Structure 1
């Protein structure tokens, strides 16, 4: 009798476990390994400076923007007179690669009809393959739009003086941008001087709307650079990422938090991350890990790692990288992008000066 009861309880337990497992399937967070051979060596004796932006397009081409003016004399010795060394020559600011790491084209820099930024910062490729770039030098208060071949199309804002976080024509050292192809609107993380998200028509440059932290009217009142409970964004407002559910994720970098909004600026929620991080903060950039957007990847340039986080809950479920100089390590990891296969591309500023690729581990 007891044996029969024990057998029945065992069957019931196994049935319940099977039902729970079926209803609650276990999923493994994505893991990554570095591809030490990406990208391939640049042609023309070229070298990169600080790499301050990365983006992918619909063809799975990878675009980066770097800062030629950050290349030191010992790195650009071939350009000096008299020549200091055989290598190297600064590459043009904008470079396009394929997934194998082959350079497809390079262009950019000052030209007729527009004001090229003095310190390049941020790159975005829209649904029509137009290339958007910005800058964060003291006089860089503009975002530029080009064709994939580098033909100038549009400038929003201008160099010179910023007019503050509530101006409708001028930017304030913008950091990043994201285009909504349905509404033809560009969301600008504005930025290193201003403390807001600013939205403009992506075809005409006409002003649409703007907002600060929690959807409030932004203030330029001087505040502590580190205050995770601040009613305002800190500087820099470092990224703006539209999700497929029409929410906008914003990197409030120095305050170690992500704020989530509706496209009209209505505040939804906040995700705090590594709240004790000082210096330059923990949330430098973020991107969904794949088309499902179940996970987001956060580039943390102070702790020098990439975090895998559940997008809905903000739970950290993985990470890769550490501070260092070897392949797969980081020094000031600054921006992040993914391709259609889920491979991850990162860039580094300060003395990092490189781009890396990480593939999904199988």
Structure 2
């Protein structure tokens, strides 16, 4: 079906929908049981100890000159404070009406319980599976009609308004993530956006996995201060391997391991400014740098395909990373459904295995450094202690306000409001604590040790 120059792809969703709709029913029941923060006795507690703010942020179509457009896939959100929230997305998409929800009568599963009819939810108009102009259903589309490579980094206030600095300052960098001299297949992406808790200058770090670099901007966004990695150049060992996602590297050039990445994903810091990069979708390692960005060391090997690797130090999709006050490094080994824990020099200490269905997207350590929160593909927010025990969870899969699909990054402001970015449904969200909510069930404050 062709609509306004954009192809709606439904067939690829069928298999996922079968499993997801089963999961969501289960997880909604679990969430309702675990929240204990319902506003009335019939509240299922889908949003846990929070209420969702359906008016944050304001729709893209309300921005001057962007009528008829909506969010692309939102990969990153970072909260500097309640009046300055950064959102990173993969460009804009046409605002289209979703198809009506309907039964997939042509799909039946024949098991020991007989035929099973499945149903897929009404797709959001901005649901995305790949970056606009990249591979997949948007490959070969027309820029300006099927997608627009704009507002890669945007900034919002507490009311969800697009701040003036977005167009006055940050918009100048849109072309940085898509230089005119390269094809769409090499387009960059802000995988995550961050500020070190130990940096008094509060520089903005943009992890561009598509272009294989990390870019560091001044806090006001007016200056590009440093680039770590080599533009559109991957590691030599990655050049001879296929990416963990089954897609070959988007780059063709290769270089020394101490100067290049393999689609890096995240960053974590120590108090002295030393930082660690999870590397990544195609590489399978952790990279350690000094405070100035000088390469120090790396560790990690490629695990066996299939998501069942159990050996320490072997990875498949190194997707997230955090550190604690003991200088331990927690690494999200996403495809293998586990977190591996190391000392700062790569010595293996422990691992937490989550089972075959949990796939962690983002990790966040609270300021007291007693608990780590994680988001996974099932629409859950999960709280763990530092021994790997799950303490609490809430959430439900879906595309409506308050439901979640692929929370790729999240953060908290000084008022306790939670912000999420969703890579699959293409929407950032804001959750406000319910009156009287149990503080132990809220995502805690982040570290802000050196911030002014």
TM bucket (normalised to shorter chain) is: 0.7 to 0.9
With over 3 angstroms needed to count, the CA separation of the structure-2 counterparts of 1:179 and 1:294, relative to structure 1, is closer
TM alignment of 1:228-307, pairs within 5 A: 228-273=309-354, 275-277=355-357, 282-288=359-365, 290-301=366-377, 303-307=378-382
CA distance in 1, matches of 2:307, 2:266: 21
In structure 2, which of residues 152, 172, 180 is the aligned counterpart of residue 93 of structure 1?
A: 152
- Does 2:93 align with 1:71? yes
1:31 aligns to what?
A: 49
Greater Cα radius of gyration, structure 1 or 2: 1
Distance (Å, rounded) in 2 between the aligned partners of 1:272 and 1:334: 20
Aligned partner of 1:171 in structure 2 is 261
**Offset at 1:330?**
1.3
Q: TM-score, normalization: structure 1?
A: 0.74
Residues 261 and 32 of structure 1: is their aligned pair in 2 closer, same or farther, counting only changes over 3 Å? farther
Higher RCO structure, 1 or 2 (CA under 8 Å, sep 6+):
2
Compute the displacement of 1:50 (Å). 0.8
**Kept after mapping to 2: 8 A contact 1:53/1:335:** yes
Kindly state the Cα deviation for residue 238 of structure 1 after the two structures are TM-superposed: 0.6
Structure 1: segments with no counterpart, 5+ residues: 1-27, 213-218
Structure 1 residue matching 2:77: 3-state secondary structure = strand
| Selected match of 2:213 from 142, 154, 157 | 142
Matching residue of 1:109: 174
For residues 39-65 of structure 1, the C-alpha deviation after alignment (integer angstroms, 9 at most, x for no partner) is: 234423263211111222267732221
| Matches of 1:52 and 1:82, distance apart in 2 | 20
Question: Residue 8 of structure 1 corresponds to which residue in structure 2?
Answer: none
Q: Classify 1:59/1:338 alpha carbon distance in 2 versus 1 (closer, same or farther; 3 Å).
A: closer
Tell me the equivalent position of 1:22: none
SS in 2 for 1:229: coil
Q: What is the Cα deviation at residue 189 of structure 1?
A: 0.8
Provide the secondary structure at the position in 2 that maps to 1:325: coil
Q: Does 1:122 align with 2:192?
A: yes
Provide closer, same or farther for how the CA distance between residues 83 and 111 of structure 1 changes in structure 2, counting only shifts above 3 A: closer
**SS in structure 2 at match of 1:284:** strand
Q: Does 1:210 align with 2:286?
A: no
Structure-1 residue corresponding to 2:397: 323
How many angstroms apart in 1 are the aligned matches of 2:267 and 2:368? 22
Count of aligned pairs: 309
Residue equivalent to 2:414: 340
Q: What's 1:50 paired with?
A: 73
CA distance, structure 2, for counterparts of residue 348 and residue 98 of structure 1: 19
Q: Could you tell me whether the CA contact under 8 Å between 2:149 and 2:174 is conserved in 1?
A: no
**Distance in 2 between residues matched to 1:209 and 1:235, nearest whole Å:** 19
Q: 1:53, 1:211 → 2: CA distance? A: 26
Contact 1:39 1:102 in 2 (8 A): yes
Length-normalised TM-score, structure 2: 0.61
Change (3 A) 1:123 1:82: closer
Name the CA distance, whole Å, in 2 between partners of 1:260 and 1:61: 32
Alpha-carbon deviation of 1:338? 2.1
Q: CA RMSD in A?
A: 3.3
Aligned partner of 2:131 in structure 1 is: none
Cα distance in 1, alignment partners of residues 83 and 288 from structure 2: 27
Report the alpha carbon displacement of residue 318 of structure 1 after superposing the two structures with TM: 2.3
> What runs of 5+ residues in structure 2 fail to find an aligned partner?
1-35, 38-47, 97-124, 127-140, 239-255, 438-452
Contact (CA 8 Å) 2:362, 2:376: kept in 1 or not? yes
Residues 117 and 341 of structure 1, relative CA distance in 2, 3 Å threshold: farther
User: Contact 1:286–1:299 (CA<8 Å) still a contact in 2?
Assistant: yes
- Contact persistence 2:375–2:408 (CA under 8 A): yes
* Partners of 2:162 and 2:430 in 1: CA distance: 14
Secondary structure of 1:110 counterpart? helix
